[in-house]
Amino acid sequence: MLIVMKVCKEKILDTQRLFVYDITGDDMEKIVEQGMLYDFYGELLTPHQRRIYEDVVVHDLSLSEIAKEQGISRQGVHDLVRRCDKTLEEYERKLKLVEKFHETRKMAQEICQAARAYRESQDAGQLLKIEQIAEEIMEL
């Protein structure tokens, strides 16, 4: 169990308050995944969906806060967020942009490691590895 402490500004009084959340690893992974999907595909949502989804995922507002602000029910906010999750996951299933991003990032890290090894040893094999990885990235 992981406890994350977060300092938030209260909207009305603009004072600092300390909140303690009980977040498990799975919850944190879900939050990161939602953020990544939103970063890649958020612009494909309607402006209304983007506004509400952003409030939940990016601004970490509660469903009640968003419902009050938007003039809809808490259940309506919950349903919209679930629909957005499914929509964004479907975009990723079809387009695989997040997956390709992670692959490219991993390959870039391999290039950095190989470049360091080459710089230290002047090994031509490391230079060949750098070229191979670069070609793989260009094929993605």
The answer for 18, left when phi > 0, alpha when psi is -120 to 50, beta otherwise, is beta
User: CA dihedral in degrees (110, 112, 116, 117; nearest 10)?
Assistant: 20
At 88-139, the pLDDT tens digits run 999 999 999 999 999 998 888 888 888 877 777 777 777 777 788 888 887 7
Both tokens of 81, joined, read 């967020």
Q: Dihedrals φ, ψ of 20, to 5°?
A: -115, 125
Residue with token string 């009640």: 64
In DSSP terms, which residues pair with 23 in a beta bridge?
2
| pLDDT above 70: percentage of residues in the chain | 81
CA neighbor of 71 nearest in space, from 91, 37, 48: 48
Per-residue confidence (pLDDT) for residue 17, from 0 to 100: 47
Alpha carbons within 13 angstroms on the beta-carbon side of residue 121 total: 11
pTM recorded for the entire structure: 0.68
When mean pLDDT is compared over 2-11, 61-70, 114-123, the highest value belongs to 61-70
What would the DSSP string read from start to end of 70-126? Answer: HTS-HHHHHHHHHHHHHHHHHHHHHH-HHHHHHHHHHHHHHHHHHHHHHHHH--HHH
